[in-house]
Amino acid sequence: MMMRAAVGLWVLSAVTCVSSANSVSLVSEANEAFSFRLYRQLAAHADSQGKNIFFSPASVSAALAMLSVGAQGETHHQLFSGLGFNSSLLTQTDVDQAFQTLLQRANNTSQEDASEGTAMFVDDYFKPKPEFLQTLKQSYFADGFNVDFNKTTESADAINKYMEEKTNGKIDKLVEDVDANTVMYLISYVYYKGKWATPFDPELTKEDDFNVDENTKVPAVMMNLEDTLHAYQDQELNTTVLQLPFNSSYYMLLMLPDIMVTLENAICPNHVTKWLKAMSPRRYNVDIPKFSIKTSYKLNDVLSEMGMTDMFGDRAIFTGISEEEGLFVSDLVHQATLDVEAEAEAEAAASTRSSSIELTTALPAPIPVKFNRPFMVIITESNTEKILFLGKIINPII
Ligand SMILES: *[C@@H]1O[C@H](CO)[C@@H](O)[C@H](O)[C@H]1NC(C)=O
Ligand SMILES: *[C@@H]1O[C@H](CO)[C@@H](O)[C@H](O)[C@H]1NC(C)=O
Ligand SMILES: *[C@@H]1O[C@H](CO)[C@@H](O)[C@H](O)[C@H]1NC(C)=O
Ligand SMILES: *[C@@H]1O[C@H](CO)[C@@H](O)[C@H](O)[C@H]1NC(C)=O
Ligand SMILES: *[C@@H]1O[C@H](CO)[C@@H](O)[C@H](O)[C@H]1NC(C)=O
Ligand SMILES: *[C@@H]1O[C@H](CO)[C@@H](O)[C@H](O)[C@H]1NC(C)=O
């Protein structure tokens, strides 16, 4: 996220605040609902037609919440309601404290295979308000750096190098060129490298057709696994939901609908809750295509369409960041990558163990589930239930 205008020094300190459990759950429910709203908006966008979708809702909502810290008036109102925060129940301070708790919780449960955080790069000549910097540091654990954005190449290199280190090289060219008018970059990232709890046997991997649509088949590399897994058949949405645990507290949910738009238009946090509750362990024989995705979105249009318009233009009010006039968000860019492979590993980055598996002793005939047509994926962590990644694979070979 890039703020443009003219014009650094900043002081940080840390204080620990305790927030009520109630606002934490209000914020995390709002974040979950925001995930699916953002998904639908992205999916409906002309640029997304015929493309896979993959993004990190957790990282986008953290970035927008940081921005709302410094927003006021209508700009703040739009960000707040766009994120789904009810201003008669939550203040910005409640939201900040809830993020602090949620980010700490995520940090406490994540192993070394996950990395998530935020950073801000502030121009040497720009003087943000100390309160703003303090809130970002204290509640969003933002790393802070001073850079000279007039030196466009060096400052872009500094940001890209930071992201590369934090995401094991998975996100490298976040910033292509810096506008000399940039005063601040806010960055929120998530990187996840998972190992499947039960690895796919590379020997069973074979080439097979993937049905992109009724008339289009593409040759995909299909991985195969036979195991006791949790799954659910949603009769209302005509969708098979399968939970594939990583060897940690993270898991992937794969949703295979009869008709993609039926699922896409309806999916909401209540469905996920229902599926997880209703899932039961059985023997399954699963075919999943090997795929990797790297997406990059400029979210200005999508967020504007969701009502967050003012921040991108001359109506923006960011007087909580600085008294400086004319501050606005010039670019809101989001990148995410995911690799799914047979050899026991999955890697996902954006700028994600499972609920326990009950092993049955008897081995009934496994139920086949073939992900050989478009499906949706969610990567989440079982303690926080935070949606780290959300996406749709319509073609595994693009
Ligand atoms: C916000 O919360 C209030 C009080 O619970 C409720 O009356 C109102 O309908 C809520 N607004 C929205 C938009 O959900
Ligand atoms: C996360 O944990 C690491 C190591 O335990 C610690 O250094 C870091 O400050 C923590 N970050 C947050 C956001 O709590
Ligand atoms: C995270 O862990 C630390 C130390 O183990 C503990 O003090 C803190 O309360 C935990 N935070 C949350 C949100 O679970
Ligand atoms: C950088 O640009 C700002 C505004 O464009 C200007 O005020 C400042 O003097 C420039 N700094 C250098 C070192 O050129
Ligand atoms: C689900 O499938 C059944 C049987 O094919 C069909 O009657 C029903 O309309 C479908 N439901 C939806 C929501 O598409
Ligand atoms: C899963 O993790 C445990 C302990 O962290 C390790 O001993 C085991 O080898 C891992 N299994 C796989 C399949 O990586």
**Domain for residue 398, yes or no?**
no
How confident is the model at residue 32, as a pLDDT?
95
Q: What is the mean pLDDT of residues 341-359?
A: 46
Same domain (yes/no): 53, 91: yes
How confident is the model at residue 344, as a pLDDT?
53
Q: In whole angstroms, what is the distance from residue 235 CA to residue 104 CA?
A: 38
259 CA distance to ligand 5 middle (Å): 9
Considering only CA atoms, which residue is closest to atom 4 of ligand 4? 6
Neighbours of 362 (CB within 10 A): 5
Looking at the chain, the whole-number percentage of residues with pLDDT higher than 70 is 88
Tens-place pLDDT, residues 18-57: 445 589 999 999 999 999 999 999 999 888 888 999 999 9
Same domain (yes/no): 183, 263: no
**Domain for residue 213, yes or no?**
yes
Same domain (yes/no): 47, 137: yes
Q: In whole angstroms, what is the distance from residue 232 CA to residue 128 CA?
A: 50
CB 184 within 8 A of CB 199: no
Provide residues with CB under 6 Å of ligand 1: 86, 88-89
**Strand, helix or coil for residue 370:** strand
CATH of residue 10's domain is 3.30.497.10
The total domain count for the chain is: 2
Looking at the chain, the whole-number percentage of residues with pLDDT higher than 90 is 54
How confident is the model at residue 246, as a pLDDT?
87
Q: In whole angstroms, what is the distance from residue 242 CA to residue 233 CA?
A: 9
Pairing of strands 367-370, 280-289: parallel
Q: Ligand 6 within 6 A of 345 CB?
A: no
CB 28 within 8 A of CB 361: no
Same domain (yes/no): 60, 152: yes
Tens-place pLDDT, residues 209-234: 999 999 999 999 999 999 999 999 99
Question: Which ligand sits nearest to residue 182's alpha carbon?
Answer: 4
What single letter denotes the amino acid at residue 104? Answer: Q
Q: Ligand 5 within 6 A of 262 CB?
A: yes
Domain boundary among 338, 358, 373: 338
Q: What is the Cα gyration radius of the chain?
A: 21
Same domain (yes/no): 71, 149: yes
Same domain (yes/no): 147, 223: no
Same domain (yes/no): 123, 213: no
Same domain (yes/no): 298, 280: no
Q: Which domain holds residue 73?
A: 2-194+293-338
Which among 289, 292, 268 is positioned nearest to 349, based on CA atoms?
A: 292
Considering only CA atoms, which residue is closest to atom 14 of ligand 4? 150
Same domain (yes/no): 364, 257: yes
Same domain (yes/no): 26, 175: yes
CB 373 within 8 A of CB 211: yes
Question: To test ligand 4's pocket by mutation, which of 7, 122, 124, 125 has the most ligand atoms within 8 angstroms of CB?
Answer: 125
CA torsion sign for 21, 26, 31, 36 is positive
Q: What is the mean pLDDT of residues 292-308?
A: 91
Same domain (yes/no): 170, 131: yes
How confident is the model at residue 172, as a pLDDT?
73
**Domain for residue 40, yes or no?**
yes
For residues 106, 110, 116, 119, the Cα torsion angle rounded to the nearest 10 degrees is: 70
Neighbours of 203 (CB within 10 A): 8
Same domain (yes/no): 266, 381: yes
CATH of residue 370's domain is 2.30.39.10
How confident is the model at residue 228, as a pLDDT?
93
Domain boundary among 338, 354, 370: 338
